[in-house]
């Protein structure tokens, strides 16, 4: 069997010291997470981040920086996740949009509110990304090179 991690994207979106999070149903109960999800076949990372934010929050998101690239596994029996966390801004909201299955609500929360109950976080990556963002960690989007569907023949 070939091992491969799940590739996911996540978005840090901050306004007035509040972060946009989703409250979602998971196999471990209701949890808080950044808008995040899996990279789909044929999709580049920036498109995936824009799509996931729109599907989970009804906000249009424009990535501006990379905050972190994380490899995470809960335990040896769990799958591994390669997660690219972006920061950026939302430029418009479509409140009539139906959110993804499993998304209960969206919330704008302070860091203190987010960390008030760490067991409610989907993973430790949620807090790690916010803290990296608050420390000023930013990498240029130019680090990403998407070479999809190129004909090298």
pTM over 0.75: yes
C-alpha torsion sign, points 82, 85, 90, 95:
positive
Residue 152 is predicted with a pLDDT of 59
| For residue 120, pLDDT beyond 60 | yes
Structural domain boundaries in the chain: 6-143
Q: Domain spanning 6-143 has what CATH number?
A: 3.90.79.10
pLDDT-derived band of residue 153, with 50, 70 and 90 as boundaries?
Answer: low
Residue 3 is predicted with a pLDDT of 85
pLDDT digits (tens, 9 = 90+) for 50-109: 999 999 999 999 999 999 999 999 888 888 999 999 999 999 999 999 999 999 999 999
SS3 letters across 24-93: EEECCEEEEECCEEECCCCCCHHHHHHHHHHHHHCEEEEEEEEEEEEEEECCCCCCEEEEEEEEEEEEEE
């Amino acid at each position: 069997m070939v091992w491969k991690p799940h590739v996911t994207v996540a978005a840090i979106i901050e306004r007035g010291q509040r972060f946009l999070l989703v409250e979602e149903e998971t196999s471990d109960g209701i949890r808080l997470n950044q808008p995040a999800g899996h990279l789909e076949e044929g999709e580049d990372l920036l498109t995936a981040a824009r799509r996931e934010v729109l599907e989970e929050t009804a906000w249009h998101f424009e990535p501006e920086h990379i905050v972190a690239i994380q490899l995470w596994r809960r335990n040896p029996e769990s799958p591994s996740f390669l997660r690219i966390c972006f920061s950026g801004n939302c430029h418009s909201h479509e409140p009539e949009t139906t959110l993804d299955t499993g998304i209960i609500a969206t919330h704008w929360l302070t860091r203190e509110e987010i960390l008030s109950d760490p067991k409610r976080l989907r993973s430790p990556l949620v807090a790690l990304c916010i803290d990296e963002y608050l420390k000023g960690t930013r990498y240029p989007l130019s680090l990403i090179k998407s070479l999809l569907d190129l004909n090298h023949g």
